[in-house]
Amino acid sequence: MNNLPSEMTTSNASKKSGREGFLNYSIAEDLQLCESWLKISKNSVVETDQESVAFWENIRAHFSENLKESRCERTAKGLMNRWGRYIQKNVLKYCIYYEQVQNLRQSREEHELGEQSLAKDMYIRFERKPFLFEHCWEVLRADEKWKSRVKDFKDKQMAFKTNKDKNKEVSAGPLTVTLVDEGAESSSNANSLPAKQKTAEEQEALKRKINQALENELEFLIETKKKRKYLHQLVVEEQRKNDYNIMAMDLSKLDHISRQYFENEKRKILKKSFEEQEQQ
């Protein structure tokens, strides 16, 4: 059974016909698309027009030339859709959550929980789906061109979903804080409060509210993880005590069936102990 979400699965119809589809990109193709976008966007004279035919034809040529294996021939339009609808949209959002985690870590004592783990939890909590493009994020994250794209995304497209949210306390969730997709039609955001219509003070106030809401949500996730970790440690400690008691048992006074049972339990405990030592 294929448990991968639809954004990463393969379309049987596309495989049979050899036609291009949006659902059958391999990880290798995603990675090469990211590399090609970075390369062409830095060198292209039409880089400001990200949807131009020439720009994406150049990406297609670079993609085809450098990709070792492909499931089918990719078109410029297909690559543009894969990049815009899936990779760029999701990785930009993840970058916002990841940056929020990093900012919180810098503002207080270091906590033991991983930044990526927390950022993924925030993504799931707000986007209602797992983050599937970590492989793309790894390619893009350190590149200055991508950092510029993230900054533009933050500056221009973080907005409240409705006008009434402006004067309310913000909760960091999909109903109140929207990371607007690039290229979205203005009609799809009719209820949003456009950033260009606000004064600089209002924009700054909104950013502070959003950042505070995200930080509150992150604090909640951190505390939840700490509690889970503590409870897990209690369970592990209780199991160790139980294992020790079994290993210390004198089986000579037990009946045959009971002795067989505890001998088997001792063997299981020893096997588990050896496996844990090998993993260290």
Domain assignment of residue 1, yes or no: no
Confidence tier at 16 by pLDDT (50, 70, 90): very low
- Same domain assignment for residues 172 and 234: no
Domain assignment of residue 235, yes or no: yes
Domain assignment of residue 192, yes or no: yes
Higher pLDDT, 91 or 166: 91
Name the domain boundary from 177, 193, 224: 224
- Same domain assignment for residues 72 and 208: yes
Give pLDDT, residue 158. Answer: 55
Task: Tell me the β-bridge partners of 160.
Answer: 177
Give pLDDT, residue 90. Answer: 93
- Same domain assignment for residues 27 and 119: yes
| 41-70 pLDDT per residue, tens | 887 565 455 558 889 999 999 999 999 877
- Give the chain's mean pLDDT: 73
| 180-220 pLDDT per residue, tens | 444 433 334 444 445 455 566 666 666 666 666 667 777 77
Domain assignment of residue 195, yes or no: yes
pTM score over 0.75: no
Give pLDDT, residue 92. Answer: 92
Confidence tier at 31 by pLDDT (50, 70, 90): very high
Q: 91, 140 in Cβ contact below 8 A?
A: yes
Give pLDDT, residue 14. Answer: 43
- Same domain assignment for residues 234 and 131: no
Number of domains observed in the structure of the chain: 2
Name the domain boundary from 207, 224, 241: 224
C-alpha to C-alpha distance for 169 and 166, rounded to whole angstroms: 8
- Same domain assignment for residues 219 and 193: yes
Give pLDDT, residue 203. Answer: 62
Higher pLDDT, 228 or 168: 228
State the average pLDDT over residues 85-106: 85
- Same domain assignment for residues 48 and 19: yes
- Same domain assignment for residues 235 and 214: no
Burial environment of residue 75 by CB neighbours within 10 A (0 to 12, 13 to 18, 19 or more):
middle
- Same domain assignment for residues 120 and 105: yes
- Same domain assignment for residues 189 and 271: no
Give pLDDT, residue 108. Answer: 53
- Same domain assignment for residues 194 and 257: no
- Same domain assignment for residues 219 and 230: no
| 228-271 pLDDT per residue, tens | 676 677 777 888 888 888 999 999 888 989 989 999 999 999 98
Give pLDDT, residue 71. Answer: 74
- Same domain assignment for residues 261 and 189: no
Give pLDDT, residue 87. Answer: 96
Name the domain boundary from 224, 248, 265: 224
Residue 232 is part of which domain span? Answer: 225-279
Q: Cα angle vertex 20, ends 130, 95, to 5°?
A: 30
Backbone angles phi, psi at 56, to 5 degrees: -80, -25
State the average pLDDT over residues 2-12: 42
Domain assignment of residue 30, yes or no: yes
Higher pLDDT, 23 or 65: 65
Residues 6 or more apart whose Cβ sits within 8 Å of residue 166: 160, 193, 202, 206
Per-residue pLDDT for 272 more than 90? Answer: no
Higher pLDDT, 39 or 164: 39
Q: What is the dihedral of CA 112, 118, 119, 124, to 10 degrees?
A: 170
